[in-house]
Amino acid sequence: MNETQKLTFFEKKQTVCPVCDAKFYHEDLLSGGGRLIAGDLTAELRRLYEPSKKYGEVHPLIYPVTVCPVCCFAALPADFAALPDANVRAAELNADERRESVAAIFPSLDFTSPRTLREGVASYYFAIMCYDFYDRKANPTFKAGLSSLRAAWLLEDLHRQEPGENWDHLAKVFYRKARFYYQLALERESAGQEAFDAALAFGPDLDKILVL
């Protein structure tokens, strides 16, 4: 495949995991070239995309979360390196739990190769768990809700590809998680426990987000 046909790229600069110090290259979606053909906006404010003749179906939501392929620590790019020092050890001790939780759903994942819908869903699942290690300044409750909602969307996409695997039932679990975290975020904001940052983008999809 020549350069003009590539859908994604791996960043030239290595990312360093704040938990295990592993170095890796994050995959991102190339822009332009007819890769994304915007379609309708759903009632959930999800942007749908039309398949293109050149690239087929494109799922931009599978790429935003940075995931360490070694310890599975994950967060949105702006937060990944900003893990509070006081919580690094706890995140390190939680690594096996992260791996085992996701392995029960997706036994085989590879974050060093181009992502599929499975890696996309898993990336948000990892992020939900890892935002427990961030302090209030990162708005972790809201971002856990956002991650839950996006995971539900991608599971619905996966269900359309594999209708016999019951991914739609798992999507409902993540919709419930999203509702829980969004409600909790509002409660914490009202109580002054986790005020929404002025620069926080509410999304929930990529074309509705200005800052990640």
Positive or negative CA dihedral for 148, 153, 159, 162?
negative
Domain boundaries, the chain: 3-203
In this prediction the pTM is 0.93
* Residue with token string 């016999």: 164
Question: What token pair was written down for 8?
Answer: 């994604």
**What pLDDT is recorded for position 1?**
38
**What pLDDT is recorded for position 209?**
41
Query: Which DSSP helix (H) or strand (E) runs through 9?
Result: strand 8-10
**What pLDDT is recorded for position 125?**
98
User: Residue 29's CB: how many other CB atoms inside 10 A?
Assistant: 18
The pLDDT averaged over each successive group of 10 residues in the chain (212 residues) is 71 97 96 88 93 90 97 97 98 97 96 97 98 96 98 97 95 98 97 88 73 35
* Residue with token string 């359309």: 160
**What pLDDT is recorded for position 2?**
42
Choose among 85, 88, 126, 128: nearest CA to 109. Answer: 126
Residues 6+ apart with CB under 8 A from 70: 17, 20, 22, 24
Choose among 103, 80, 99: nearest CA to 11. Answer: 80
